[in-house]
């Protein structure tokens, strides 16, 4: 059954320029969902296609941790307030895995087809994060052994399918990155508990089938 779209009240608080308040969203993720987060490196203000980190060829500009590093991710409200109090425009980065959700991401057009296919078979979905080029379906935490067995059973795994597991990260709404705005394609439902997410197996099965059928296999699409 398709999830009813919803946004938490705190995620809709607005800044003076009309954009959602990043610190409110970060606090919701950390304290209510218990998702460990940290501020990402901002995109280069002179050229948003470039990253603010020292890597001139960064492939995820403004959408990854840098200082602090990923291991600093926390659910502590005081730390979150301090970070975004000092860096109010910093992207919100989720440290995936552990007690936090993992994710499966694929090119935006293929992802739209995958969501339609999942809806068609009546599969319940949780939050889906969208950037201009890629969408990420949040799933239950999985280990490398579980993922390896899942992929080994496939005849072919498209290179455009990416996995955000233990030790990985994902930019969350309402962040702005070098790629553009990060938004909810399917937002978390209102409530006090951490959002429900599906198992990885069913999502991967449909994603591989859609990517194979549409020919979207190149890793950088």
Q: Are 40 and 52 in contact (CB under 8 A)?
A: no
The percent of residues above 90 in pLDDT, for the chain, comes to: 48
The reported pTM is 0.84
Q: Rg of the chain's alpha carbons, rounded to an integer?
A: 17
Contacts of 53 (CB under 8 A, 6+ apart): 41, 64, 66
Q: Tell me the per-residue pLDDT of 146-172, one tens digit each, with 9 for 90 and over.
A: 888 988 888 888 888 899 999 999 999
Closest-CA residue to 11 (of 3, 21, 149) = 21
Phi/psi-derived region of residue 34, left when phi > 0, alpha when psi is between -120 and 50, beta in every other case: left
Residue 75 pLDDT level (bands cut at 50, 70, 90): very high
> How far apart are the C-alpha atoms of 208 and 214, rounded to whole Å?
10
Say whether the peptide bond before residue 174 is cis (omega within 30 degrees of 0). Answer: yes
Q: Are 135 and 112 in contact (CB under 8 A)?
A: yes
Q: Say whether pLDDT at 8 is over 50.
A: no
For residue 47, the model assigns a pLDDT of 61
Q: Are 93 and 26 in contact (CB under 8 A)?
A: no
Longest dimension (CA), the chain: 52
């Amino acid at each position: 059954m398709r999830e009813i779209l919803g946004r938490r009240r705190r995620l809709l608080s607005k800044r003076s320029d009309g954009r959602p308040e990043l610190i409110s969203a970060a606090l919701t993720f950390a304290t209510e969902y218990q998702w460990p987060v940290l501020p990402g490196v901002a995109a280069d203000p002179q050229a948003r296609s470039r990253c603010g980190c020292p890597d001139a060829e960064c492939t995820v500009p403004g959408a990854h941790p840098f200082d602090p590093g990923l291991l600093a991710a926390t659910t502590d409200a005081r730390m979150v307030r301090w970070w975004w109090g000092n860096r109010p425009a910093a992207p919100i980065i989720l440290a995936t895995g552990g007690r936090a959700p993992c994710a499966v991401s694929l090119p935006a057009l293929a992802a739209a087809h995958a969501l339609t296919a999942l809806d068609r078979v009546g599969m319940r979905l949780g939050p889906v994060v969208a950037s201009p080029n890629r969408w990420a379906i949040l799933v239950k935490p999985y280990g490398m052994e579980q993922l390896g067995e899942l992929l080994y059973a496939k005849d072919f795994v498209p290179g455009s399918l990416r996995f955000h597991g233990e030790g990985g990260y994902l930019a969350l709404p309402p962040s702005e990155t070098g790629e553009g705005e990060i938004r909810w394609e399917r937002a978390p439902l209102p409530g006090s508990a951490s959002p429900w997410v599906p198992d990885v197996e069913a999502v991967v099965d449909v994603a591989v089938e859609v990517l194979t059928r549409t020919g979207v296999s190149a890793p950088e699409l």
